Amino acid sequence: MRKTVPIIICAIMVAAMGSGGDPSPPSRVNPPSPAEVDAAQSGNTAMPDPGEDRILRILPASESEPGEFLWQARPVVVFADTAADPSFVLQLDSLRERPEQLIERDVVVITDTDPSAETSWRRALHPKGFSLVIMDKDGQVKQRKPAPWSVREISRAIDKFPLRREEIGRAGIVP
């Protein structure tokens, strides 16, 4: 009787684990991109080439709206009262110096150096002087910084976001 108890326990544990072949249900935290939806609807299962459009996009706030990037990109918004602000210049130089990590994380950089323009970014985020605002793909503000951050610091912060953790898990990437 004593030898059969461990065997029965092992059998129950193996049965509880299931077949291992059943895929887990898809997550609803990060919906598919428009390219994925188009591919699914057209029957084309080819994904967009990750090598295309591999430059860091830096856009002035006057040429974009926060809603444009919803579920597509992570806006990193850099505010200053003037383009000559040393913190602003340092931040942009840092971002341009090592863009690969930002591109990998679907970052788009938005710059706003004209407080009098009252862009939708300023109305939504209410910056004072120099400000670095890191947002996630769901449109939520995740970090606000009053001083420039390195690409490494920004990348590490992004890698802690729940949506990014999900992306990393789906891709099998180790941060």
**What stretch of H or E contains 79?**
strand 74-79
pTM, full prediction = 0.68
Residue ranges covered by each domain of the chain: 57-170
Given CATH 3.40.30.10, say whether it is the number of domain 57-170. yes
Phi, psi of 137 (to 5 degrees): -65, -20
- Residue-level pLDDT at 168: 85
Q: Quick check: 50 pLDDT over 50?
A: no
Give the Cα-Cα-Cα angle 78, 72, 48 (nearest 5 degrees): 125
Average pLDDT over residues 145-160: 98
Angular region, 141: left φ>0, alpha ψ -120 to 50, beta rest:
beta
Place of tokens 């180790």: 174
pLDDT tens-digit series, residues 81-96 = 999 999 999 999 999 9
Q: Which residues contact 151 (CB under 8 A, 6 or more apart)?
A: 94, 95, 97, 98, 99, 101, 102
Angular region, 34: left φ>0, alpha ψ -120 to 50, beta rest:
alpha
pLDDT tens-digit series, residues 105-131 = 999 999 999 999 999 999 999 999 999
Q: Count CA atoms within 13 Å of residue 43 on its CB side.
A: 0
